[in-house]
A and B are shown apart, each in its own frame.
Chain A
Amino acid sequence: MALIADFLVQGCQMLLVLLLAPLLTGWVRMIKARLLRRRGPSVLQPYRDLLKLLRKEVVLADSASWLFRVAPYLIFAALWVAAALVPTFASGLLFSWTADLIAIVALLGTARFFLALAGLDIGTSFGGIGSSREMMIASLAEPAMLMMVFTLSLLAGTTELSSIARFILTADVGLRVSLGLALLALVMVAIAENARIPVDNPATHLELTMVHEAMVLEYSGRHLALIELSASLKLLLYLSLLGCIFAPWGMATAGAGLTAYLIGMTIYVAKLAFGGVLLALFETSIAKMRVFRVDQFLGAALMLGLLGTLLLFVSRSR
């Protein structure tokens, strides 16, 4: 019986992230529109877009191969699994030990790998430019993320997310320089990985500095719907990650009962909403940078992460 309940809670989390992801995207878009003094579309617009795209037929380029058709499902699967493995409203769920933080980073890498390949598949110059820039950005963002993981795991003694969240909740953590550095590094990586301003612009289709949108230019219909949903899932994943690591307050523990779960869920949604507002504020207050400034931006993130790790290595002496 307990096992079934555990399964249900885990399934709940999987569905929750899937259902919340378009809402978060719509929320960020709405806040941005309001900040620009536009009315903007409704919060629910991403759902409508997805449903419309799902019902449309797919127009495939003549030179598209099987990889192009399989890639959206693979990307979606990898990102959904990754997003569902980050603790959202409760920690220590049934399958939380399946993949630790390093594996989640690598799952994001799997999704990126296939997206970049899909960009190259048609054989157009736009797809290529997107893939090549995406891999350049990832070549710095992924190590920066891993250094952040190092910092956390040196503090918490594990790379498993639930245990990290529980560790942060204990009283003896306090304010630490290396945690602050890790937070900064993670925020910078999150901005770059989600193709947000100032690294990339999620709202444009025709700009030579674009990265993500150039890769998915040839997708249409249900394939595009999956790609869009995966992008929303990725944004949700990074916000949940920030919430789970740096603000784990209000998170229920596994087996805490229905009320605790509901409270955890409410707090989780509030956290997401707050994160969305911050993101929109940041995006409207800054200009996009040149593509060859991105390496300096991310290089800084990598160095911050390395500095945080080094501080911990040095401060622990026998």
Chain B
Amino acid sequence: MLLLAVGAYVIAAARRPDGGRQVYGIALFVCIVLLGLALGHLLTGRAPATLTLPLGLPWLGAHFRLDALAAFFLIVVNLGGAVASLFALGYGQHERAPERVLPFFPAFLAGMNLVLLADNAFTFLFAWEFMSLSSWALVMAHHQEPANARAGYLYLVMACFGTLALLLAFGLLAGPDGGYDFAAIRAGTVSPGFAALVLALALLGAGSKAGLVPLHVWLPLAHPAAPSHVSALMSGVMTKVAVYGFIRIVFDLLGEPVLWWWGGLVLALGGITAVLGVLYALMQHDLKRLLAYHTVENIGIIFIGLGLALAFQANQMYASAALALTAALFHVFNHSLFKSLLFLGAGAVLTATGERDMERLGGLIHSMPWTALAFLIGSAAISALPPLNGFVSEWLTFQAILISPELPQWLLKFLVPAVGALLALSAALAAACFVKAFGITFLGRPRSPAVAQARETDRYSLVAMFVLASLCLLAGILPGLVVDGLAPVVGLLNGGARLIPQHHQPWLTLVPVVDVKSTYNGLLVLLFMALSGFAAAFLIHRLASAAVRRGPAWDCGFPDANPAFQYTAGSFAQPIRRVFGSVVFQARERVKMPPPGDLQPARLEVKLHDPIWERGYAPIAHAVVAISTRFNYLQYLTIRRYLSLVFGALVLLLLGMVLWR
């Protein structure tokens, strides 16, 4: 435990602007040590360990505590941190401005670790803000580009807003007596009205960091702006820290009683987030931004699981809540694996080609076969295809939805199947999205000269990607072990109720609920697929024909040598844009045809509107600008007027206090 804290501080202290390899090497080592400690804690099921340091507020100190929930998220954070550091050992060599990345990278890791370990409100908020600011610095690493500067500004505004919401939430939790220790908060009770307010504030605070619609606007701008290993951390890991914040406040600190409509609210938000996130992702042509929008979708899936768990807990159906919680936490783990993998893959593409725009990529599978394989595994996993891990957590979420007709509230009876349909829709759209992401980037023919000369990425990066890819496969074929590992966490959050142990099941089958009899066995599915695929290949090559001849593409007799004639990212998404986008984004297409005889090319213009930005944020920004312009003259008053203003304000305040009493 002591080592844990010391380790975190070692990372923070490793702020040397020289020697990128040293920094990443130390970060890798410390992350692996922390990962081992957290794994050991979770698997042996030890009692929570605590530590108090005389830091921070004098009467409060800095309290740290390691329980099952924190241990699970520590695994997520440090696994992602270790792999990102490993990747950076190679990738960091290409960094243009290492002095803007190196100091903040370990600080960012330390910040995330400290959030998970914090055991009082002050430490939690301090670490949270530390994490936000260090990641902001990383987003601003390439601040010369105007788009990055804007992303950084928006991120800062949203991060401040989120922390403000959390600050108020903790204030309400602590009550007027100010018991900011988590133990004191747990022991105290909050009136139902305040509890609802805390839930709303937690949704605002943690949701804005996680990327819950409509608070997601900063995420697809900020995540891609950072260097790719940091993008992987922000998307794969930091959003999980935000999910941790939500779980810690709502499931742990707030405790009983839970009202049923909380579950409904979280469920509805999750469903909307999932579908909107993937639709936004489908409309993107920038590889990293596509991945960032896709994070929004996965956060939606996680919140669907959490919302179901809240609804079940409110109705004292703890066995069902255990299933929903397991599904959500499993998806947290899965998403941290494949989203980090995909961002690392995008980083490898970026270093090899200097391009993020998919319309200029293509054919990379020939020059970067290993990166392509890793990216393919990540794409298949995130599209929830069996036998990989993404499917297991979605399957568990579906099973949780299927046991929910027992919920007595009528609103939930309508809401849950609708959210189920949204989840199914988002899963199918995710597959389309990743056919586009992988197919346009890696398949086909190179769309620009730089891409044609790409070379395979370095060894460190490949090892990092394949560690994640093999974990994706392992978690997919041995889901029972992961579910067992999650059991103490679920028990902690769910009043002791957890899923039945899975590793006793024959053939390592996943049996979430005994009397429902729905089972899934990823291991056997993989085995059957491998057997039949290899048998077919062997028999055909042996008995029929193994001859291959290369020739020009057929393309119905009209092959075109120019790679510009291939399908592009925009054209791939066109049918979906037409079906879904015309409603959600008011997508309009216009063909500009020059008059006959004019030599100008014909052009197709596509106009998309972002409903959330245009209807939600733009009016607020306009209002802020309008108000500040109106009050701008206050800056240029004479000292006499300022003094009278201060006096007036004082009188008003005193009057207000008198009336309040």
Contacts and interface: CB of A to CB of B under 8 A. Distances in A.
Contacts of B578: 292
Contact of A99 (B366, B386, B566): B386
B402 A159 contact: yes
Interface stretch (A35-43, A138-146, A244-252, A275-283): A138-146
A136 B436 CA distance: 11
Interface residues of A, number: 90
A109 B445 contact: no
B365 interface: yes
Contacts of B588: none
A158 interface: yes
Nearest to A138: B428
Interface in B522-537: 524-525, 528-530, 532-534, 536-537
Contact of A63 (B408, B410, B444, B579): B444
Interface in B419-456: 420-421, 424-425, 427-429, 431-432, 434-436, 438-440, 443-445
A289 interface: no
B568 to A, nearest CB: 8
Contacts of B544: 54-55, 222
A310 to B, nearest CB: 5
A315 to B, nearest CB: 9
B402 A73 contact: no
Given A57-B545, A98-B524, A143-B428, A313 B405 contact: yes
A279 B172 CA distance: 64
B571 A60 contact: no
18 contacts: A65-B372, A74-B533, A77-B528, A77-B533, A106-B386, A109-B385, A113-B380, A120-B572, A121-B439, A121-B444, A128-B571, A138-B432, A140-B428, A150-B417, A150-B420, A306-B421, A310-B414, A313-B416
Nearest to B523: A98
Contacts of A125: 555, 560, 565-567
Interface stretch (B10-18, B30-38, B66-74, B391-399): B391-399
A275 B372 CA distance: 42
B550 interface: yes
Given A123-B566, A158-B517, A292-B578, A113 B551 contact: no
B425 A139 contact: yes
B545 A318 contact: no
A131 B525 contact: no
A173 interface: no
A16 interface: no
A160 B440 CA distance: 37
B532 A128 contact: no
B192 to A, nearest CB: 23
Contacts of A284: none
Interface in B513-564: 516-521, 524-525, 528-530, 532-534, 536-537, 540, 544-545, 547-556, 559-560, 563
Interface in A69-119: 73-74, 76-78, 80-81, 84, 95, 97-100, 102-103, 106-107, 109-110, 112-113, 116-117
Nearest to A96: B519
B406 interface: yes
> 3 closest A-B pairs (Cβ-Cβ)?
A128-B567, A123-B444, A57-B547
B575 interface: yes
Contacts of B413: 313-314, 317
A91 to B, nearest CB: 13
Contacts of A57: 545, 547-549
A126 B556 contact: yes
A54 B439 CA distance: 28
Contacts of A98: 509, 519-521, 524-525, 528
Nearest to B565: A125
B554 A61 contact: yes
B545 A55 contact: yes
B554 A218 contact: yes
Give the interface SS of chain A, mostly helix, strand, loop or mixed.
Answer: helix
Given A73-B536, A77-B530, A103-B525, A143 B519 contact: no
A237 interface: no
A42 B478 CA distance: 47
Given A57-B548, A66-B365, A222-B544, 9 more contacts: A57-B545, A58-B547, A81-B529, A117-B443, A126-B555, A136-B575, A140-B579, A313-B405, A314-B414
Contacts of A159: 398-399, 402, 518
B189 interface: no
Contacts of A132: 567, 571-576
A253 interface: no
Given A121-B443, A143-B428, A136 B559 contact: no
A116 B187 CA distance: 55
B488 interface: no
Contacts of A314: 410, 413-414
A29 interface: no
A291 B536 CA distance: 35
A56 interface: yes
B612 interface: no
Contact of A76 (B429, B525, B533, B555): B533
A157 B513 CA distance: 11
Contacts of A97: 509, 517, 519, 521
B573 to A, nearest CB: 7
A120 B443 contact: yes
Interface string A163-188: 10000000000000000000000000
Given A117-B443, A123-B563, A217-B554, A128 B432 contact: no
A81 B528 contact: yes
Contacts of B525: 81, 98-99, 103, 107
A61 B553 contact: yes
A208 B419 CA distance: 36
A153 to B, nearest CB: 5
Contacts of B401: 150
A267 interface: no
A139 B549 CA distance: 36
Nearest to B553: A61
B406 A77 contact: no
Nearest to A307: B417
A4 B559 CA distance: 53
A100 B518 contact: yes
A190 B572 CA distance: 24
A217 B556 CA distance: 7
B532 A80 contact: yes
B431 A113 contact: yes
B242 interface: no
A207 B506 CA distance: 51
B384 interface: yes
A67 B365 contact: yes
A312 B405 contact: yes
Contacts of B517: 97, 157-158, 160, 163
Contacts of A76: 532-533, 536
Nearest to A50: B544
Contacts of A217: 554-556
